Structure 1
Amino acid sequence: MPRTRPPAGSGDTPAAASPDATASPDAPPAADAGPDTPAGDSIGRGAVPLTASAVLVGAGNYGLSLMLVHLLPAPQFAVYSALSSVLLSVGTLAGATVPWVLAREVAASAPGSARRRLSVRSCLWLALGLSLLCSAAACGAVASYAGPGPLAGLAAACLMIWLNSVGAGYLQGCRRFVSLAGLRVAEVAVRIVVTVAAVLAGWGSAGAIGAFAIGAAVTSVAGLLALQGDLTDRRSAETTARERAAQRAGLWRHAGTVGGIQVLACVLFTLDVVVAAAVQGGSADLAPYQALLVLARVPLFLSTALATVVFPRLVPARAPGRGPGRSEAFRVAVRLHWIIGATVTAVIATCPDEVAGLVLPQHYAASAALLPPLVLAGFASATIAVMTVVFQAWGPSRPVIVTLSAACLLGGAGYALTSAHLPALAWSSATVTGAVAVLGTVLARRRVAGLGPAAGAAGPLVAGAAGAGVLMLLRPHPVLWAVAALAVALGALYAARPRRRRPGPYRVLHLGFEDPLQPGAGGGSIRTHEINRRFAVRGVEVTVLCAPWPGSTVTVRDGVRYLPLPTRLGPLVHKRFAPQLAYYAAVLTRLGLLVRRHDPDVVVEEFGVPFSSVCVPHLTRRPVVGVVQALAAEAKAREYRLPFDVVERRGVASHSWLVAVSDGLGAELGRRNPAAHIQVVPNGVDPAAFSRCTVPRGDHLLYLGRLETASKGLDLLLRAYARVAPVVTGDLHIAGHGPHAHRLRALADELGISDRVHWLGHIDGPDRFDLLASARLVCVPSRYETFGMVAAEALATGTPVLAFDIPNLCDLVTDDVGVRVPPGDLDAYAKALAALATDPAHCAALGANGPARVRHLDWERAAEAQLALYRRVSEGASQAVNPSPRPPRQH
C-alpha cells in the first residue's frame, strides 16, 4: 500500500497543541478566505491591489504635503511637518508589529474558534497598551514647540493608528487583500478631505494633525466591524484555563518573533536617514537624499505587498508543519520579487533627470546621481522584506534577529562616518542592506525546499542588468529611454504572467532516463513503464524522455510515447556513456523548449545513474515530482572517483515532492531533505506471476537481472557457486544482459565453471515468470537494492530467494520465504547456496509462502496512488500561481 511521510514540522508553531488543529497543512483556507479572495487566489492577484494602494497612498501624502505648503503659514507647517514625521514613525511601528502577529494567528486558526477570539482580544489589548506608550512618548518629544491642540490631535492619532492596525492584521490573515487595500486608500482619502476642510476653517496645524486621527478612526471602525464576528462567535467549545494559558504563551512568543524581525527590518531600512539627521543636526543638506528615497523605495513598496500576501499562506493552516504547498507559494512570491524588483530597479537607477523632474522638484532632481545606490539599497531592502517572511512564519527567528541586529549596529557606525558626504552615505546604505539581503537569501534557501542555489535570482538579475545597460545608453535621450523602459516593463510583466494551460487531457512529461527496451535496462525502467501504461489507460497523455540507444526511435508502446533525447546522436550512440551524457545535456539545455511543446501538467524526474538528479525543479516553472528508485551516486563516486554524490545531494534538496519505492529509501530521502513531502509507492507484481504454479520445477539455480557487478553483485554469485559446484547437482542459469557480460563470462572461465553456467540472454514477458517458476532457487547477490523486483516476482511464482541481508531486500525476503546472509559474506552465501540447492523440500516449503508475502504488491494500486500525487502537486501549483482555479481534468 502507498505510504506517506508527512512534511517535517517547523518546530516553531503552537498549532499542534491547539484544539483547532484539524485541517490539512496544505488545505486551502476556504473558511478563512473572505469574500474578496477565493481559496484559489493567486499571489500576484493579491499583491496588485496592495501595490496600487501603496502608490495611491504615497501620491496622496505627497500631494497633501505640497498643498499644505501653500495653505499653512510657515511656522504652522513646520509644526505639522514635525508631528507628521512622528506619526509616520508611529505608523511604521504599528504596521510592523500587531498586524503581522494577528495575521499569523488568524491564518492558523478556525473562524470563531477560541484560539482566534483569544488572539483578537489579546492584540486589541496590546494595541491599546502600545498606543498609550506611543502617545506619551510622542507628546513628550514635541511638547516644547507644539501647542495643546496639536498635542491632543497627536495623542488621538496615535490611539487610532494602533487600533487601525488590529483590523489590518485581521484582514491580512483572512487574505482579504482587496478590503485591506481599500481601507488604506480610504484612510488617506478621509484624511485629505478633513485636513483641507480643517485648514480652510482656520484650525491650522491642530486641525491637520487631528485629521490623522479622524482618518484612522474611520478605518479602525471598519476593521473592527470586520473582525466582530470572530470576536463574538462562540461556536467552538470553551477551552480550559491551561489551554488558554498555552495559547496566550504561544501568541506572545510569536509576537516577539514577528514583531522583533519587523521592527529590526524597519530600523535597518530607515537607519541611514535617522543617523545622518542626528549627525547633521537636522541640516537641510539631507533633503535631496530624503526626497530621492521616494523613488528609490518603490521596489520596497512592491515587495512589501508581496510579503503581506504570502505571509498568511506560509502560516501553518490549523495544523503543524510547513507543507510543500506553502513552499510553492513562497517560491512564486520570490520569483515575482526578482522579476519585478530587478526591472523596477533598472528603470529607476537609469532615470533621466528630465523624467525625475516630473516627480521631484527641480533642485532635488539635480541630485539624481544618488539614485543608483539608493535604488540598489531599496531593492536589497525589498529582498530582506520578502526573505524574512519565511522565518516569521516558520522560524527559527534567532539567525535573522542576530543578523538584523548586527547590521543595525555596524550600519549605524558606518552611516555616522559617511553622513557628511551623501554619495558615500548612499553607497554605504546599499552595501549594508545588500550584504543582509544576500545572507537572508542564503538562509531562506536553506529553509525552503526547491528554492534553488541562487533562490531563482540568476535569470531575473541577469535580465535586469542587461535592461539597465540598454537604458543607461539611452539615458541622454529621454523619449527613447521612455520607450525602452516601457518595453522592459512589458517584458517583465510577460515573464511574471501566470501560467495558462491549453485544454486537453492530463499530461505528464516523464524524464525517464532509460527505455525498458534498451539493452541492459534495469528494473527501474520496467517500473516506469508499468506505471505509465496504466496512466495511459486512464486517459493520461504520457511522454517519456529517455537516452538514445542503437536502433531507438520515437515510438508509442501501450499508449506511452517514448522520445529519445537527443533524437539523433550519430556514431556516438555506440560509445559507452555518450548517450547518457547527451541525455542529461539535452535536459539541461532544452527542457524549457520541451515543456512549451508538450505543455505538461507535471514534470516527473526519474532519478538515474550516475548522479541521480540534475535539479529539474530549478529548470522549469511547472510542478515537478522526483521518482527515486535508487541513490547510487556515492557508489558511483567511489567507482569513478568523481563527485557524483555532491550533485545528488543538490538534486535531492531541490525537490519538494518525492516518490520512493521503499520505506528505507523514503527514510533516507527524509533525512537528506526534511522539508520535502515524500510518498512511498512500492512496485507492483504482474498478476501473471501468481499463476505459474503448474510450471515443472527443475533443480537448477537462477539469476535474473542486469549483468553488472557494482550493484547487482553477480561476481559474488559466480565465486560462491564455484565453491559449491562440486557438491550440487543443479547448474547455474543466468538470464539478462548488461555492461559487464564479457567480464563475467571471463570470470566464469577463470573459476572453471563455464560448463556449469548457462547464459540465457534477455528474457521478458510471460517467459520471465515461467523461468522464475521453473528454478529451485533464485539467487539475488546484490550489494545494494532499492526494492528488489526480481525477488518479489520470484516469490510470486513460489520460488524461494537467497540474498544478502541489505536494506529493502531484508523487508521483502523474510525468513519464511527465503534466506538472508550477512552483506558481502561470500562464505556464508556459498554455505547457504549449497544447503538450499541440496534440500528441495526446504525450498518447496519456503516457496509455498512466497505468493502470500507479495500479494499486496499491485501495479494498479501503485499507479492510482502515484497519479493521485501528481494531480495533487499540479493542482496545488495551479492554486498558487493561477489567477483563478481551473476545473480539474476528467480521466
Structure 2
Amino acid sequence: MTAATTTATAPAAPRQNQQNRQNRQKGTARGALPLALSAVLVGMGNYGLSLFLVHRLPAPDFTVYAALSSVLLSVGTLAGATVPWVLAREVADSAPGSARRRLSVRTCLWLALGLSVLTAGAACGAVASYAGPGPLAGLAAACLMLWLNSVGAGYLQGRERFAGLAALRVAEVAVRVAVTVGAVAAGWGSAGAVGAFAAGAAVTSAAGFVALRGDMGRPVAVDGDEPVRADHGLWRHATAIGGIQVLTCVLFTLDVVVATAVRGGSAGLAPYQALLVLARVPLFLSTALATVVFPRLAAGPSPAARDGFRGALRLHWITGAAVTLTIATCPDAITGLVLPRHYTASAALLPPLALAGFAGATTALASVVFQTWGPARPTVMTLGLACLTGGTGYALTAARPLALAWCSAAVTCVVALVTVLRARRLVPGLGPAAGAAAPLAVAAMACCALFALRPYPALWALAALAVLAGAALAIRVRPRRPGPYRVLHLGFEDPRRPGAGGGSVRTHEVNRRLAARGVEVTVVVAPWPGATGTVRDGVRYVPLPARPGPLARSRFAAQIAYFAVVVTRLGRLTRRHDPDVVVEDFAAPFSSVCVPYLTRRPVVGLVQWLFAADKAREFHLPFGAVERRGLASHTTLLAVGDDLGEELRRRNPAARVEVIPNGVDRAAFVPPVARRGDHVLYLGRLETTSKGLDLLLRAYALAAPRTTADLHIAGDGPHAADARALAAELGIADRVRWLGRVDGPARFHLLASARLACVPSRQETFGMVAAEALATGTPVLAFDIPRLRDLVTDDVGVRVPPGDLDAYAAALVALTADPARCAELGAKGPPTVAHLDWDRIAAAQLAAYHRVTPGDRLPYEAPVADG
C-alpha cells in the first residue's frame, strides 16, 4: 500500500483516444508478483492439506476440523484485512523511529491482542457444542497467533517488503502442513490439525516481530515530531475495514457454521465441506487480486486507481469464470481421483457451490473500493442483511445439503450483484468496460459444452484445458479502451527535502498539472532522512533506494545511491510503472547517467544545469566524462533558458533541443496588500557554492554602516550554520534576521513586503526567486551572470559584475536610500515575467513528451488545466 500526505482527485481526461494498452494488465499483475505467487502456493498448500485430511481423518473428525478451519479462515481473513492494512498506511506515511510510527505499531499491537481475545471467545462459543477440549484449545491459540501475525505483516507491507511478506505467508503454510502431518501420524486427530494453525502463525509472528523491533519502543516526541496522541483516523479506518471484512468472512462461512450447529456436527455434512474446498479456489484468486489493487486505491481516487480496479475486476471475471466452470462441470470420474469415492456421490453439490464461490470472490474484490474510498456504511448494511437472511435460509435447509448449497449460491449472488452495482458509482464502467460482458457470454457457451461432455471424461478434460487456455489468452489481450498516459520522472530531488531547490519546484508544478488532466506521474527521488513514498496533488513520489540506511544522512552519498539504483534497476522500474515516456532530470554530480541506453522507452532529458565541471573541481573526480556520454545518449533535451539551450545544441548537434523556461505561480502576481518595509530580503536555499549566500553577507557587512535597512534571510539548506557563523564573524548578527523556510502564499507576501530582493548567486539554473520577486513588484539586485541576465534587466533591477562585493554593497546602499527608484523598478517587473505561466509550461512540456511517444501510445491531446 501506498500512503498519501496530500491526494488530489483528478477530473476525467477529455477526448481520450481509444488505444490498445496491453501492458496495463501486465503491470497490475507485476505490481505484487511475490504476493500473487505466495497466494497460489498458500492455496495449493491448503488444498493439498485438506485432501490429505479427507483421506486420513474419519468423517466425524473431519467434520469438526472442517468447521473449525472455516472459523479460522474467517479469523485469519479478518486479521489479515484489518490490522495490516491500517498499520501499513501509518508506517508508509511516517519516518523510521518517529513517535507516530511507534505509536501506530503499539496501538495496532494492543488492537490485535484485544481482537484476538474477542474472536477466540466467539469462535470457541460457536463450535463448543460439537468440538472437544483439544480442538477448542487449538482454536483459541490459533486465534491469538493469527492476530499477532497480522501486526508483523502490516509492518512489512508498509515498508514495501513484499518479498519478505510473501515468504512469511508461504512459511506459515509450510509449518502448518508439517505439524499437521506429524500430529495426524501421532494420532492427535482434529485437535492436532487445528493446533497446527497456531504453530504456523507463531513462527511467522516471531519473524514479523524481529522485523519491527526497531519501532516497538515507547513513542517519545522529539524535535520535529508530531504530537504523541491517539490517531482517531486510524480507528475510523480500522472500523470501516473491519466491519466490511468481518461480515464478508461471516457470509462466506455462514452456511457451514449454521448447518453444522443445526445438525450437531453430523457427519452428513462432510461431503459438503470437502467439495467446498474445490469451490473456494476463485476466492483465493480474488484475495490475491485485492492485495495487488489495494495500494493504488489507498492513494485516493484517481484515473489510475480506477483503471487499476477495472483491470483487477476484469482479471477476476476471466480467471474466476474459467475456474468456476471447470469445477462446476467436473465429471464424477475425475472428482473421484482427488476425493474418496463415497464423497463423489454428492457431486451434484458442485454447481451451486462453485457459483457461490465465484460470487463470494466477486464480493470480496468489489468491496475493496469501499474499504479505501468509502462510504462503508451501505456495504456493511448490505452484508449484515445478507447474513441475517442467509442464516435463516441455511437453518431451514440444513437437513438437505443440495438445498443448502443453492440457498448459499442465491444469497452470495445477490450480494455480489448489489456490491458491483454500488461500486460503479465510484468506478464508472465496471460492466462491459471492465471486460465482464464478453467473458460471461463465452462462459455461458463453454458451460453448455462442458456439461454436455461430462459423460465423456477424456473429452471433458480436453475441453476444460481449452477453456483454461482461452482464459490465459484473454488475460494477455487488453481490450481497446482509454487509459492514462504515464510518465516516469527521474526527478532526483524531493521538494519536501529541507534545502530543496527550484528544480524540484518545477518538477512538482508541472507534474501536478499533468496529473490534474489524468496523466499518471511517478517521480523517483533521492532518499533523505524521514523520506517516505507519498502522493502529493496526484503525483506519486518514490524515494530510491527505499531503505538507504545511514546513506540518507549524507546528501552526496544519497545522490550516489540514487544514481546507482537508476542504473541498476531502471528496467525493473519501467516494468513496474509501464511508462509511456521516461524523463531524466539532469542532476549533480554527473548530470546524466545515460538513461536512454538503459531502457527502450522514449526518454526526454530535462536540463536545468550542467553540473559535472563544477563538481569535478570540487571533488577532483572525472564527472565530466560521464556527463559527455550522457549528453550524447539523448536525442531530445529540454532546457530552461536560451543560453543553456545553445550550449546543449553545441555539445550535441544531433539532439532536438527545446527551450521551456520555469514558471511563476499566479498567486505571485496578486500579492496581499501590505506596506513595504525598508529591509532587504534573501529568499532561497541557504547554500554558498552556487547561491552565494556568503557573498551577500560580506557585501552587506560593507554596506551596513551606510544603510538603515536590515537583512532578512528566509530559507533552509546545508550551509545554514556556516552562514550564521559568518554573520557573527562579520559583526552583523544583530542586523540579520533569520526567518527559516517559507512556502506557499507566505513566500510571495514576504517578497512583496521587502524593498529589495537580493540574489547573490554565483551561478543559476534559471533564477526562480528573481522571477517571483519581479512578479510581486520587488526590484532585484544580482550579479551579472547567465540565466539572470535576461530576467534582471536595467528596467526592473540592478546587476553588478560577478563577485564584485564593493559594487554589490554600493548598489545595495543606493537602492535602499532611494525608495522612489525601487518603486519605479518594481512597478515594471510583473509584465516582464507574465509569460512565465506554469499552465503554458506544463502544456509545452507534455507536448514535448508526445513528440517522442509512438502515436499508438498517446491517449489524448491534452491542454493542461489551470493550476
State TM-score, norm by structure 1: 0.49
Q: Select which of 836, 844, 851 maps to 1:864.
A: 844
CA contact (8 A) 1:53 1:181 kept: no
Q: Select which of 351, 354, 367 maps to 2:330.
A: 351
CA contact (8 A) 2:78 2:242 kept: no
CA contact (8 A) 2:3 2:93 kept: yes
Q: Does 1:429 align with 2:387?
A: no
Q: Select which of 192, 208, 229 maps to 1:223.
A: 208
Provide the C-alpha distance between the structure 2 equivalents of 1:144 and 1:395, rounded to a whole number of angstroms: 38
Provide the C-alpha distance between the structure 2 equivalents of 1:329 and 1:871, rounded to a whole number of angstroms: 26
SS in 1 for 2:229: helix
Provide the C-alpha distance between the structure 1 equivalents of 2:164 and 2:838, rounded to a whole number of angstroms: 51
SS in 2 for 1:496: helix
Identity %: 64
Which residue matches 1:58? 46
Distance verdict in 2 for CA 1:491–1:403, change over 3 Å: same
Displacement of 1:356 in angstroms is: 1.6
Which residue matches 2:396? 417
Which residue matches 1:373? 352
Which residue matches 1:251? 234
Q: Spell out, residue by residue over 1:664-700, the C-alpha distance to the aligned partner (whole angstroms, 9 max, x if none).
A: xxxxxxxxxxxxxxxxxxxxxxxxxxxxxxxxxxxxx
Distance verdict in 2 for CA 1:211–1:469, change over 3 Å: closer
Map 1:508-657 to 2 at 5 A. Answer: none
Which residue matches 1:101? 86
Q: Which amino acid counterpart does residue 53 of structure 1 have in structure 2? A: L
Q: Select which of 497, 503, 508 maps to 2:476.
A: 497
Distance verdict in 2 for CA 1:435–1:238, change over 3 Å: farther
Which residue matches 1:282? 265
Provide the C-alpha distance between the structure 1 equivalents of 2:51 and 2:301, rounded to a whole number of angstroms: 44
Distance verdict in 2 for CA 1:197–1:871, change over 3 Å: farther
Stretches of structure 2 that go unaligned for 5 or more consecutive residues are: 11-25, 488-577, 582-830, 859-867
Which residue matches 1:304? 287
Distance verdict in 2 for CA 1:353–1:141, change over 3 Å: closer
Displacement of 1:396 in angstroms is: 1.0
Q: Select which of 35, 48, 66 maps to 2:36.
A: 48
Give me the CA root mean square deviation: 4.5
Distance verdict in 2 for CA 1:206–1:432, change over 3 Å: closer
SS in 2 for 1:162: helix
SS in 2 for 1:489: helix
SS in 1 for 2:367: helix
Q: Which amino acid counterpart does residue 392 of structure 1 have in structure 2? A: Q
Q: Spell out, residue by residue over 1:406-440, the C-alpha distance to the aligned partner (whole angstroms, 9 max, x if none).
A: 21122222333333333332222222211111111
CA contact (8 A) 1:164 1:217 kept: yes
Provide the C-alpha distance between the structure 2 equivalents of 1:471 and 1:111, rounded to a whole number of angstroms: 55
Map 1:324-335 to 2 at 5 A. Answer: 324-335=303-314
CA contact (8 A) 1:172 1:308 kept: no
Which residue matches 1:479? 458
Provide the C-alpha distance between the structure 2 equivalents of 1:275 and 1:871, rounded to a whole number of angstroms: 63
Displacement of 1:54 in angstroms is: 3.0
CA contact (8 A) 1:61 1:188 kept: no
Greater Rg over alpha carbons, structure: 1
Q: Spell out, residue by residue over 1:522-577, the C-alpha distance to the aligned partner (whole angstroms, 9 max, x if none).
A: xxxxxxxxxxxxxxxxxxxxxxxxxxxxxxxxxxxxxxxxxxxxxxxxxxxxxxxx
SS in 2 for 1:244: coil
Q: Select which of 174, 183, 190 maps to 2:175.
A: 190
CA contact (8 A) 2:35 2:163 kept: no
Q: Select which of 92, 113, 120 maps to 2:105.
A: 120
Q: Which amino acid counterpart does residue 187 of structure 1 have in structure 2? A: E
Provide the C-alpha distance between the structure 1 equivalents of 2:851 and 2:149, rounded to a whole number of angstroms: 42
Distance verdict in 2 for CA 1:241–1:410, change over 3 Å: same
Q: Spell out, residue by residue over 1:733-785, the C-alpha distance to the aligned partner (whole angstroms, 9 max, x if none).
A: xxxxxxxxxxxxxxxxxxxxxxxxxxxxxxxxxxxxxxxxxxxxxxxxxxxxx
Provide the C-alpha distance between the structure 2 equivalents of 1:859 and 1:398, rounded to a whole number of angstroms: 40
Q: Spell out, residue by residue over 1:791-836, the C-alpha distance to the aligned partner (whole angstroms, 9 max, x if none).
A: xxxxxxxxxxxxxxxxxxxxxxxxxxxxxxxxxxxxxxxxxxxxxx
Q: Which amino acid counterpart does residue 272 of structure 2 have in structure 1? A: Y
Q: Which amino acid counterpart does residue 373 of structure 2 have in structure 1? A: W
CA contact (8 A) 1:445 1:453 kept: no
Displacement of 1:456 in angstroms is: 3.3
Distance verdict in 2 for CA 1:254–1:207, change over 3 Å: same
State TM-score, norm by structure 2: 0.50
Which residue matches 1:470? 449
Which residue matches 1:264? 247
Which residue matches 1:564? none
Q: Select which of 100, 107, 118 maps to 1:133.
A: 118
Provide the C-alpha distance between the structure 1 equivalents of 2:336 and 2:290, rounded to a whole number of angstroms: 31
CA contact (8 A) 1:346 1:465 kept: no
Which residue matches 1:666? none
Distance verdict in 2 for CA 1:466–1:866, change over 3 Å: farther
Displacement of 1:374 in angstroms is: 1.5
SS in 1 for 2:476: coil
Map 1:31-180 to 2 at 5 A. Answer: 42-43=30-31, 45-46=33-34, 48-66=36-54, 68-69=56-57, 87-107=72-92, 109=94, 112-137=97-122, 153-180=138-165
SS in 2 for 1:351: coil
Displacement of 1:67 in angstroms is: 6.5
Provide the C-alpha distance between the structure 1 equivalents of 2:277 and 2:63, rounded to a whole number of angstroms: 20
CA contact (8 A) 1:303 1:386 kept: yes
Distance verdict in 2 for CA 1:275–1:871, change over 3 Å: farther
Q: Which amino acid counterpart does residue 198 of structure 2 have in structure 1? A: A
Q: Which amino acid counterpart does residue 127 of structure 1 have in structure 2? A: A
Which residue matches 1:595? none
Provide the C-alpha distance between the structure 2 equivalents of 1:121 and 1:308, rounded to a whole number of angstroms: 24
Q: Which amino acid counterpart does residue 171 of structure 2 have in structure 1? A: A
Q: How many residues align?
A: 500
Displacement of 1:158 in angstroms is: 2.9
Distance verdict in 2 for CA 1:105–1:39, change over 3 Å: farther
Q: Which amino acid counterpart does residue 256 of structure 1 have in structure 2? A: T
CA contact (8 A) 1:87 1:158 kept: yes
Provide the C-alpha distance between the structure 2 equivalents of 1:447 and 1:257, rounded to a whole number of angstroms: 17
Provide the C-alpha distance between the structure 2 equivalents of 1:383 and 1:353, rounded to a whole number of angstroms: 27
Provide the C-alpha distance between the structure 1 equivalents of 2:80 and 2:851, rounded to a whole number of angstroms: 39
Q: Spell out, residue by residue over 1:613-649, the C-alpha distance to the aligned partner (whole angstroms, 9 max, x if none).
A: xxxxxxxxxxxxxxxxxxxxxxxxxxxxxxxxxxxxx
Q: Spell out, residue by residue over 1:456-503, the C-alpha distance to the aligned partner (whole angstroms, 9 max, x if none).
A: 3112212222322332232222112212211221221122128799xx
Provide the C-alpha distance between the structure 1 equivalents of 2:854 and 2:403, rounded to a whole number of angstroms: 49
Displacement of 1:376 in angstroms is: 1.2
CA contact (8 A) 2:149 2:204 kept: yes
Provide the C-alpha distance between the structure 1 equivalents of 2:61 and 2:264, rounded to a whole number of angstroms: 21
Q: Which amino acid counterpart does residue 269 of structure 2 have in structure 1? A: L
Map 1:751-770 to 2 at 5 A. Answer: none
Which residue matches 2:825? none
Displacement of 1:359 in angstroms is: 2.2
Provide the C-alpha distance between the structure 1 equivalents of 2:192 and 2:455, rounded to a whole number of angstroms: 46
Distance verdict in 2 for CA 1:42–1:241, change over 3 Å: closer
